[in-house]
Amino acid sequence: MSTPAETTASPEPRTVIVTGASLGIGRAIAEAFADLGWRIAIGARNAERLGEVVDSVGARGGKAFAHALDVRDELSVETFCSAAQEALGPIDVLINNAGGAHPGRLHEMSYDDIRFAIESSLIGSLFMSRCVVASMLENRVEGDVVFISSRSVGVSWPGHIPYAASKAGMESVGRALGQELEGTGIRVITARVGDTMGTGFANDWTTDEQQMSAYWAELGILRHGGVMEPPNVASAVVGAVTTPRAFQIDFLTVNAVAPTID
């Protein structure tokens, strides 16, 4: 019979890359791994914000390495991965969290906004996975590759079409990559995340773009006022990654509980 220690994660520190780690869900995931004493390489386009995350990771008992990262650019990806491994050693875990989008009706969106939504989530996760999986295989690492997806995949979400499409593509990548890596010791996990506040996702939205939330509420897409906070998502992701290696969580859905009705 298994003891409680045998059904939880090994305390052995691992080395993690978290993309889009300057704030929100990415930062919360980095901090959650720091609580385990792990080594965390954090990257984001806004490198100026990474200093705070490095301090937080260190205060929680982790070891952090920070470097600018634009997951849409292959040179940036290769540079980041090489620097992370030089600083922390072979990578055990990749968290594909980076992403972004501006809302709007498709026929009114700029080509740049459409391209940004697809590249920052889908192309970025492909570039990062290519780089890190190659390293894991070369170093014979039993690792985990995680894709942070969105509830937008499971519903019809007008006004957010490129973003939803990018996350649907990400989930397809996760399914196929999981099969591609069977027998290698590398697990692939997809986490479909529901409504979360405090992510910074809409920080650069215009006033008109922010008003799309009212439109989504009218359509019933935002069904109730229940929302999560980034640490809630981080807890679920860390739980999936730290499951014993005899099994894996291929797909998990993380949603907020509806507010209690008095």
- Amino acid 5: pLDDT: 39
Residues of the chain with pLDDT under 70: 1-11, 198, 202, 224-225
- Amino acid 174: pLDDT: 98
- Amino acid 218: pLDDT: 80
135 touches 88 (CB < 8 A): no
Report CA-CA distances (Å) from 25 to 5, 164, 262.
28, 18, 30
- Amino acid 204: pLDDT: 78
Which one from 22, 76, 121, 149 is the annotated catalytic residue? 149
Assigned fold of 9-254: Rossmann fold (3.40.50)
Instruction: Give the pLDDT confidence of 23-36 residue by residue, as tens digits.
Output: 899 999 999 999 99
Q: Is 163 left (phi over 0), alpha (psi -120 to 50) or beta?
A: alpha
Instruction: Give the pLDDT confidence of 131-185 residue by residue, as tens digits.
Output: 999 999 999 999 999 999 999 999 888 989 999 999 999 999 999 999 999 999 9
Does the annotation count 163 as an active-site position?
yes
Residue 80 amino acid letter? F
For 206-241, the DSSP string reads: -HHHHTHHHHHHHTTSS-SS--B-HHHHHHHHHHHH
Decide: pTM greater than 0.85.
yes
